Amino acid sequence: MNQAWLWFEKEADTEDYGFNWGFHVDLIAGVDGPDTEAFGGPGWDSTWQWGSGQYGAAVPQAYVQLAINQFSIILGHFYTILGYEQVPSPYNFFYSHNYTMAYGEPFTQTGVLCEYPLTESITLLGGWTNGWDQGFQFGANDSSTFLGGIQYESADERTSIMWSTSAGYWGDGAVIHSGGVGGGPTTMDNGNIFDQSFVWQQMIAKNWTYVFQADLGLNSETTQVAGTSHTEWYSLLNYLFYNFNAHWAAGIRLEWFADPQGVRVDRANLNQLNAQGQTIPALNRANYWEATIGFNWRPNNNFRLRPEIRYDWANGMGTNPGHRFDPLGNAYRQATLWTLGIDALWLY
């Protein structure tokens, strides 16, 4: 079981004029639970995961919302606004996730986020967060980041464009991401972060939808990595979906994710630490590519089946031997990987 999900909410009314309030709390259990906990510590909210082995549970969202006319503010722990794919499975077409979401963006953030519809088509977002994937222990790791963006949606709702960014000081010793590299001792300095994501969604004709995403991440003045104080990562993604009818849809995803310093993706555990606890990333530098083809079967509004076939490959940079994928634990160290996947979603 990847996700067993419960949420409790009262939506704040932003359509009418006046003051309104709401709240939202999520609880997730399953294999995806440990990936959505609050990292960084110390504190009670950095151990929201519980359980043993690969299964666990977490509280990925817990916030209150205040609305004054059409201006709204959320305060607490919430999903990031960066990127196209999201943590809850029902919001994604594919069973598997892209590299960009898994390694290049935060899952959750904690702080304050304001939203204001400047016009009927343009919405502004802006606020403050305490880094990436951290909880309510404000100031524990000195992280302080801006989170904001601008969204455009056409009047006919066929075109949507979103640019979002997270920028500021990343913090001391915080685990940057559940799947990334850079935990290190608490004396390590993650430096400054600038991460931006551009997502364009376009409906084509009657049944076609195209999505384009471009991301860029820059990490400067960091002491996490041996031999350099600057790391970066960047990616391009393309999605194309076709709805045959109300029950069947097909999709394809093509992605290029570049990790030139080898600090974001460590799928074969090739990264090592030196005596100072810094990452030695030379063996893990690579360009990662993936192509995924999948189908969605929706016999009704409550059930969905998502089969897919995925091909991953990587080419190394510099001293990288190109052996990247190790799903069997030292039993398969190759630069290519085929994956067949299928899952079922039940919404209630």
CA gap 142, 173 in Å, rounded: 10
How does the average pLDDT of the chain come out, rounded?
Answer: 85
Tokens 């609050």, residue located: 38
Specify the pLDDT at position 180: 42
For CA atoms 184, 187, 172, 225, the dihedral sign is negative
CB atoms within 10 A of CB 42: 11
DSSP state of 39: P
**Correct CATH for 73-346 of 2.40.30, 2.40.160, 2.30.30, 1.10.10:** 2.40.160
Banded model confidence at residue 181, pLDDT cuts 50, 70, 90: very low
Token pair of 12, please? 């704040």
Token pair of 300, please? 């009704």
Q: pLDDT digit string (tens) for 272-305?
A: 677 766 666 656 678 899 999 999 999 999 999 9
Residue 233, SS3? Answer: strand
Specify the pLDDT at position 231: 87
Specify the pLDDT at position 52: 62
CA gap 140, 151 in Å, rounded: 32
Tell me the average pLDDT across 183-191: 57
Distances (CA, A) of 209 to 84, 242, 246, 334: 14, 7, 15, 34
Q: pLDDT digit string (tens) for 123-172?
A: 999 999 988 888 887 776 788 999 999 999 999 999 999 999 999 998 76
Closest CA to 63 of 52, 48, 73: 73
The rounded percent of the chain whose pLDDT value lies above 90 is 57
